Amino acid sequence: MNCRGVSRRLSAFIDDVLSPGIKESLEDHLKGCLKCQRKLAEIKAIIEAAHNLPSLKVSEEFTERVLAVASKQNNPEVVSLNRYRVSFAGLAFVATAVAVFFIMGPIGQERSDTRSQNTVTAQFESAGQPELTDYSEDPSVIVYSVPVPEEVRIRDMMFDDSLQLADSSLKLDQFILPEVEQARENVNIKF
C-alpha cells in the first residue's frame, strides 16, 4: 500500500472498521513511513480535540418549557380550537366565493354592457333583418333597448348622466348614427 492508499483509509483505520487484510497492509506501510505516521498522529489529535470540545448545556428551564408546550399542544381544547380555526378559514373562503359569484356573475356569462363597437355596427349593418333581441315584431311597440354606440356610452359614463340621456328622445337623436336611422325606418320604430 502506498501513501495515497493509506491517506484514504486513515480514518477507517483509526475507527477500526478496516478488514483484517487491509489493516495489516496499512500497518506494514506505517512502520516504514514517518510522513504517514505524522499524518496519523495529527488526525488522532484532531479527533481527540473534537472529543474534548466543551459540551453545550441547555438552559435551566429548557425541559420545563418543552413539556409545557407539548402539554399545551396535547390539550384537547386547544386541538378543537385549532380545528375550528380551520373551519373558520373554510367558511371565510366559501363566503368570499359566494360574494364574488354575486358581484361578478357566473363564470362565462357575457355581461350585457360589454358590447364592443363592432357588435353595435354589426347589428345595424343588416338593417331590415329584424334583430330578435332589440325590437318587437309589432311595429307599434316602442323598443327602449336601442343600442347606443360605444363612444356615446363611454362619454355618458364619464358624465354620469346616461340614464337621463336614454330617457330623452330629443337628446338621444343627437347621437344616433345614420345606420340606426336607417334601421329605424326599416322596422318603423317610433321613438
Partner 1 sequence: MNTNRGRSTDKELMELIQGGDDKAFAELVSRFQDRLLNFVGRIVVDRETAEELVQEAFLRIFNQKHSYTPTFAVSTWVYTIALNLARSELRKRKLRKYLSLDFLKEEADVELPEKSNSDYESLIPILRKAIDKLPEDYKTAFILCDIQRLPYQQIAEVMGVPVGTVKSRINRARMMLRDKLKPYKEIHHELSRGIPQTISLY
Select 4 or 111, whichever has its Cβ closest to partner 1.
Answer: 4
The DSSP result for 10-73, as a single string, is HHHHHTT-S-HHHHHHHHHHHHH-HHHHHHHHHHHHHHHHHHTSPPP---TTHHHHHHHHHHHH
The binder of partner 1 chosen from 22, 30, 43, 143 (CB under 8 A): 43
Select 71 or 129, whichever has its Cβ closest to partner 1.
Answer: 71
* # residues near partner 1 by CB under 8 A: 39
Q: In whole angstroms, how close is the CB of 80 to partner 1 at the nearest point? A: 16
Is residue 34 a contact residue for partner 1 (CB under 8 A)?
A: yes
Q: In whole angstroms, how close is the CB of 2 to partner 1 at the nearest point? A: 16
The binder of partner 1 chosen from 25, 37, 121, 182 (CB under 8 A): 37
The binder of partner 1 chosen from 1, 12, 172, 177 (CB under 8 A): 12
CA dist 95 and 33 (Å) reads 80
C-alpha cell at 22: 487491509
Output DSSP code: residue 109: P
Q: CB of 165 within 8 A of CB of 171?
A: yes
C-alpha distances out from residue 158 to 41, 70, 119, 149, Å = 89, 62, 21, 14
Residues that bind partner 1 (CB under 8 A): 7-12, 15, 17, 34-35, 37-39, 41-43, 45-47, 49-51, 53-59, 62-63, 65-67, 69-71, 73-74
